[in-house]
Amino acid sequence: MDESRTERITAVAALEEPTRRRLYEYVVRRAKPVGRDEAATALRLPRATAAFHLNRLVRDGLLDAVHERRNGRSGPGAGRPSKLYLRSDRHIEVSLPEHRYDLAGQLLATAIEDAETTGDSPRSALNRRARQLGNELAATAGAGPDAVLRVVEAHGFEPRTDGTAIVLGNCPFHTLAEHHTDLVCEMNLCLLDALLTSLKTTDLHAELNPSPGHCCVRLEHQ
Residue 1 pLDDT: 38
Q: What is the mean pLDDT of residues 26-47?
A: 94
The span from the CA of 183 to the CA of 129, in Å, is 13
Is position 75 within any domain? yes
Closest CA to 11 of 50, 59, 53, 64: 59
163 versus 87: which is more confidently predicted? 87
Is position 92 within any domain? no
Domain hosting 71: range is 5-87
Percentage of the chain lying above the pLDDT 70 cut: 94
The CATH number given to whatever domain includes residue 31 is: 1.10.10.10
Closest CA to 159 of 108, 101, 97: 97
- pTM attached to this predicted model: 0.70
The span from the CA of 27 to the CA of 35, in Å, is 9
Is position 94 within any domain? no
* Mean residue pLDDT across the chain: 88
Phi-psi bin for 207: left (phi > 0), alpha (psi -120 to 50), beta? beta
- Model confidence pLDDT, tens digit, residues 111-161: 999 999 999 999 999 999 999 999 999 998 887 778 888 899 989 899 998
Q: Are residues 106 and 81 in the same domain?
A: no
Q: Are residues 129 and 217 in the same domain?
A: yes
Contact between 92 and 8 under an 8 Å Cβ cutoff? The reply is yes
Q: Are residues 67 and 114 in the same domain?
A: no
Q: Are residues 82 and 131 in the same domain?
A: no
Phi-psi bin for 142: left (phi > 0), alpha (psi -120 to 50), beta? left
- The total number of structural domains in the chain stands at 2
The span from the CA of 147 to the CA of 192, in Å, is 13
Q: Which of the listed residues 87, 122, 148 is the one where a domain comes to its end?
A: 87
